[in-house]
Amino acid sequence: MKKRTGAQIIFESFLREGVEVIFGLPGGAVVHLYDELANYPQIKHILVRHEQGALHAADGYARATGKTGVCLVTSGPGATNIVTGVVTAFMDSIPIVVLTGQVATHQIGNDAFQEADILGITRTCTKHNYLVKDTGDLPRVIREAFHIASTGRPGPVLVDLPKDVITGEAPLGNPEKFEVRGYAPVTMGHPGQIKLAVREILKAKKPVIYAGGGIIHSGAQEELLALAEQGQIPVTVTLLGLGGFPGDHPLFLGMLGMHGTYAANTAVTQCDLLIAIGSRFDDRVTGKLESFAPSARIIHVDIDPSSISKNVTVNVPIVGDAKNILARMVKILKEQGDVWKATRKPWLAEVGQYSAEHPLSYEPSQEVIKPQYVIQQIHRLTKGEAIVATEVGQHQMWTAQFYRFTRPRTILSSGGLGTMGYGLPAAIGAQVAFPERIVFDIAGEGSFQMNVQELATAVQYCLPIKVAILNNHSLGMVRQWQELFFNKRYSETSLEVQPDFVRLAEAYGAVGLRAEHPRDVVPCVKKALSTQGPVVMDFIVDPEENVYPMVPPGHSIDEMILAKTDKKARKVVPLTFPS
Amino acid sequence: MKNTISILVENKPGVLARIAAMFSARNYNIDSLSVAETIDPTVSRVTCTAVGDNLEIEQIMKQLRKLIDVIRVVNFTTSNGDFITREMVLIKVKARERDRAEIMRTADIFRAKIVDASRQNLTLEVTGDEKKIDAILELLKSFGILEIARTGQVALSRGGKRLIDKHMGSVKSPGRKSSNRHGVR
């Protein structure tokens, strides 16, 4: 059989996996790979400016498309620079294959130049990782890596490639034949459990669906909608579940949790049946665990058995893929006839009242730009059809609240790890996948500066990303905590000294715009949308604005601090901060 | 409660590190651990004991199963059916002239072997379950134990049940690579 170099085997394998684009940055250990890359014009390479950007871009690409993102970096610092991105993807179950260079096999362990034990470093934050020691193993390892990353509960898989493995030679082999005997994700869902779940739904008077990122990964949005409508069950979603259920649907309660809506948090607290789907009872969702859905029986559909009964004990666990499980639940429900609309009426009326009493609100202003207003205008001017990446902080929560996501894979946001600096490179990944769509990065000025170097990437590849900085001159979310729980002692959260973002954008070759007055907001967004290349908009917003509702850390989720504008807000929450 | 968990894993470098890393990353404790190749040289058996409440042990099992290199996991303590556990310990005990006979009698009672002797010391090899080993250690204390080396628990289910399944080499025909390297164990 004809022999190929390791580098050739890797790219041939990529072609077989349908890889169209790689995000990366070269270095000594992968220089042979980059040399070979020139022979594969079918595979587009996006050169980032920092390896962390490569990982987040691959992540954004994966979230926006549902395909596996691919990322290629060198050994040592190249590899350690991606760790934040790997953990970000791991926490949010994003399929990514990461190739890292490594020093030659005979040098491993010798503290060689640019050597890092990336296998050891990423052992607990990848779904799996490999050190390839023999070029002949490459076809199988690459096949396995893509298989593991993209199936079951998706996640990042890292493949460490010593230099001599890349330059060595081996046959291309037959990687169709592979077996990972320790890996067989359950997808089908136990029929008996599904029947049990339907029986619970039939019995329940006050059911609520609590859906997470699993809906998006599974592509179960239609089945979720069918279940909600068939059973007349109100739906709340997590940050990662946004877009998995239409944000403008009458059964939609909004997001739940620390910055969830009053309706969602109250409905979950009051419900007698909680149907958790592809969600993992994260602490930002549940608040104080003991009082989370205190009177509810719980159905939990998840593809990862270890997510079930991890934080709360579940009555009906169903392990498997949400899409097929929900489809079967809907089928059985339909067989029960259409008695639903009548029996659910009192509950839906009660829930409707929650929404009517305490909708999301903020105090509009003619003097100073309200960040929520900016997001509403972006929503309006993009007809809610943009792909929106966010950084992490107040702007992220406002985006979740005020950009009414109606379709899956339109919000790209670091939920589990909460990685500031995620949004800009993630937007790059999404824009690479969808050159024709409008891609926004809604940012804070703190987060934006954490990966600002990627503006150069956007400019180089003419990616017309629109960055909207909601500039409050502070690390706003921490500032909010300090205001509410630390007696306004603003310790190290002021970002008074900051670059001129307009000139910064221009320095990178992008377009910079600034809006300082509410009347400038709409023209600014319009100008950005009509500009061809990347644009950075600097919105100088009200520095005092906070994200409400807010469940103080350690409290139950029905103990919310509501917006000052909420006329009916009850001061029921003691502003204490648990140690 | 102490749980005895048996784990069949790929016999590859780094697999033990994955298991250990999972325990430490998730703040679980391993009480004891023993690892060796099985009769199928592509598979190793890890036996570990861990203490925790039911939920915690259930999570440990699930997290172990999630590791790609883990093939099978069983918790002998909670699964139906009996199982046997054994540990081995080497005990170096001070053996003065007047104590020597008594130590050897104790060794006899526990069916321990004397594997090394010098003027002042005897070294005993004892195999048994945890209780037996604790018991002989307790008895030998009075003579002065100089040091011990104790293995982790190994365990097997009683009767015909086994963890090996169709994915693994049959017990009758050891796997392809049964070279001398493996034979000397």
Instruction: Say whether both B98 and B142 belong to one domain.
Output: yes
Residues B105 and B35 reside in one and the same domain: no
Residue of A181, A186, A304, A307 best to disrupt the B interface, most CBs of B under 10 A: A181
Is residue B156, in this structure, part of any structural domain at all?
A: no
Q: How many CB pairs lie under 8 A apart between chains A and B?
A: 41
Q: State whether B77 and B168 are in the same domain.
A: yes
Q: Indicate whether A40 pLDDT > 90.
A: yes
What local confidence, expressed as pLDDT, does residue B173 receive?
Answer: 37
Chain A hits for B38, CB-CB cut-off 8 Å, are none
pLDDT of A578? 53
In a domain, A366, yes or no: no
Cis peptide before A346 (omega within 30 of 0): no
Confidence of residue A567 (pLDDT cuts 50, 70, 90): low
Yes or no: say if A275 and A206 are a contact pair by the CB < 8 Å rule: no
Chosen domain end from A326, A357, A388: A357
Residue A381 has pLDDT above 80, yes or no: yes
Q: Residue length, chain B?
A: 185
pLDDT for position B1 = 84
Helix (H) or strand (E) holding B183: helix B180-183
- Radius of gyration of chain B from its Cα atoms, rounded to whole angstroms: 19
Q: Which two tokens stand for residue A326?
A: 């929900």
CATH number of the domain that A245 lies in? 3.40.50.1220
How would residue A370 be classed by pLDDT, with cut points 50, 70 and 90?
very high
The β-bridge relationship of strands A156-162 and A96-102 is: parallel
- Whole-model pTM: value is 0.93
Higher pLDDT, A63 or A554: A63
Specify if A363 maps to a domain: no
Q: Give A179-205 pLDDT, tens digit per residue.
A: 899 999 999 999 999 999 999 999 999
**Residues of chain B numbered 110-169 and touching chain A (CB < 8 Å):** 167-168
Same domain, A243 and A106: no
Please report the beta strands in A425-561, taking only residues with DSSP state E, as ranges in sequence order. 439-444, 466-471, 511-515, 535-540
Determine, yes or no, domain membership for A564: no
In a shared domain, residues A208 and A295: yes
Is residue B184, in this structure, part of any structural domain at all?
no
Instruction: State pLDDT tens for residues B41-85.
Output: 999 999 999 999 988 999 999 999 999 999 999 999 998 889 999
B98 and B117 housed in the same domain? yes
Q: What is the mean pLDDT of chain A?
A: 95
Nearest alpha-carbon partner for A24 in A67, A75, A83, A70: A70
Q: In the structure, what pLDDT confidence band is assigned to residue A343 with cuts at 50, 70 and 90?
A: confident
CATH code at A121?
A: 3.40.50.970
Residue A349 sits in the same domain as residue A411: no
Specify the number of domains making up chain A. Answer: 3
| Residues B171, B115 share a domain | no
Rounded Cα distance between A260 and A278, Å, is: 18
Domain boundary among A171, A206, A240: A171
For residue A549, whether the previous peptide bond is cis, meaning omega lies within 30 degrees of 0, is: yes
- Interchain pair B68, A180: CB under 8 A: yes
For residue range A227-252, list pLDDT tens digits in order.
999 999 999 999 999 999 999 999 99
Q: What is the CATH number of the domain that holds B61?
A: 3.30.70.260
- Chain B: residue whose CA lies nearest to A311: B55
- Which helix (H) or strand (E) is B98 found in, with range? helix B97-109
- CA-based nearest residue to A201, from A344, A83, A84: A344
Relative to beta strand A252-255, strand A235-237 is parallel
Q: Which residue of A has its CA nearest to B22?
A: A124
Residues B99 and B146 grouped into a single domain = yes
Partner residue opposite A182 with nearest CB, options B14, B58, B69: B69
The answer to whether residue B178 scores a pLDDT higher than 80 is no
Q: Is the residue at B155 inside a domain?
A: no
Interface check for A128 against chain B (CB to CB < 8 A): the answer is yes
A527 located within any domain:
yes
Does A51 participate in catalysis according to the annotation? Answer: yes
Both A260 and A353 in one domain: the answer is yes
Residues B92, B75 share a domain: no
Residues in a beta bridge with A287: A556
Residue A256 DSSP one-character state:
-
Does residue A270 sit in the same domain as residue A156? no
Q: Give the minimum alpha-carbon distance from A18 to chain B in angstroms, rounded to a whole number.
A: 24
Query: To 5 degrees, how large is the angle CA A237–CA A241–CA A247?
Result: 65
At residue A170, the 3 state secondary structure works out as strand
Q: Which of B66, B72, B73, B168 to mutate to test the interface with A (most CBs of A within 10 A)?
A: B66
Q: What is the pLDDT of residues A82-114, one digit of tens each?
A: 999 999 999 999 999 999 999 999 999 999 999
Are B74 and B165 in the same domain? yes
Using CA atoms, how far residue A439 sits from A149, A351, A357, A501, B124, in Å, is: 25, 34, 34, 19, 73
**Over 70: is that where the pLDDT of A340 sits?**
no
B17, B55, B69 member nearest A309 (Cβ)? B55
pLDDT interval class at B165 (50, 70, 90): low
CATH number of the domain bearing residue B129: 3.30.70.1150
The alpha-carbon gap from B74 to the nearest alpha carbon of chain A, in Å, equals: 14
Residue A538 · residue A562 · CB < 8 Å: no
The answer to whether residue B106 sits within a structural domain is: yes
Please report whether residue B42 resides in a domain: yes
Residue A134 lies in a domain: yes
The answer to the question of residue B183 being in a domain is no
> Quick check: is B144 in a domain?
yes
Residue B154 CA, distance from chain mean position = 3
Q: The domain containing residue A465 runs over which residues? A: 371-540
**Residue A178 domain flag:** no
What are the pLDDT digits (tens) for A124-177?
Answer: 999 999 999 999 999 999 999 999 999 999 999 999 999 999 999 999 877 777
pLDDT at A342: 80
Print the domain residue range for B57.
Answer: 2-81+161-178
**Total count of domains within chain B:** 2
Could you say which DSSP state residue A453 is in?
G
Q: Are residues A353 and A436 in the same domain?
A: no
CA distance A107 to A91: 33
Mean pLDDT for A549-576 is 76
- The tens digit of pLDDT for each residue in A164-184 reads 999 999 998 777 777 899 999
- The half-sphere exposure of A318 on its side-chain side, counting CA atoms within 13 A, is 30
Residue A453 has pLDDT above 50, yes or no: yes
Percentage of chain A lying above the pLDDT 70 cut: 97
- Contact (CB<8Å) B9/A182: yes
* Look-up of token digits 């099992």: B61
DSSP three-state, residue A103: coil
| Residues shown for chain A | 579
What separation in angstroms does the CA of A506 have from each of A274, A517, A528, A540? 51, 22, 14, 18
pLDDT tens for B85-138 read 999 999 999 999 999 999 999 999 999 999 999 999 999 999 999 999 999 999
Would you call A323 exposed, middle or buried from its count of C-beta atoms within 10 A (0-12, 13-18, 19+)?
A: buried
B40 alpha-carbon distance from chain centroid: 18
Here the ipTM equals: 0.91
Q: Which two three-digit tokens encode residue A190? A: 């136990």
User: What was the pLDDT predicted at A576?
Assistant: 54
- pLDDT at position A365 is 94
> Exactly one of A477, A537, A550, A560 is catalytic; which is it?
A477
Beta bridge partners of B48: B5, B33
Question: Do residues A148 and A200 share a domain?
Answer: no
Are A100 and A50 in a shared domain?
A: yes
